[in-house]
Amino acid sequence: MIDKDSLNYKISKALQVISPNSEWSLLGNDYDDLVWLSEGNKPTWAQVEAEINNPTPTPEPSIEDKLASAGLNLTDLKTALGL
């Protein structure tokens, strides 16, 4: 089970927003345990902490995105509904 209150989880979620295409490893439950594998500098603790304390809202996925995640499209939906 994922502990969404753990600092490890919060740091991970923040990094996904701050630097979505980066590669890194968090070996412990602390920012100091962050190993940055991507080019460039890792985000500062201030940046990570700001994202943890004030998360960027995640937009609601469109119906097209939801269908695509299931391997479908609008035509498939219309066909299934007999439209």
Whether the predicted model's global pTM rises above the 0.75 cut: no
Let me know if residue 1 belongs to a domain: no
Cα 32 from Cα 26, distance rounded (Å)? 9
In this structure, what is the dihedral angle of CA atoms 43, 7, 60, 72, given to the nearest 10 degrees?
A: 90
Question: C-alpha distances in angstroms, 7 versus 3, 26, 70, 78, 83?
Answer: 9, 11, 31, 44, 48
User: Given this model, what pLDDT does residue 4 score?
Assistant: 63
Q: What are phi and psi of 50, to 5 degrees?
A: -60, -40
**For 1-15, 36-50, 59-73, which range has the lowest pLDDT when averaged over its residues?**
1-15
How confident is the model over 26-46, as pLDDT tens digits? 988 889 999 999 999 999 999
Let me know if residue 58 belongs to a domain: yes
Q: Per-residue pLDDT for 71 more than 70?
A: yes
- One-letter identity of residue 78: K
Structural domains in the chain (count): 1
**Segments forming the whole domain that contains residue 18:** 7-81
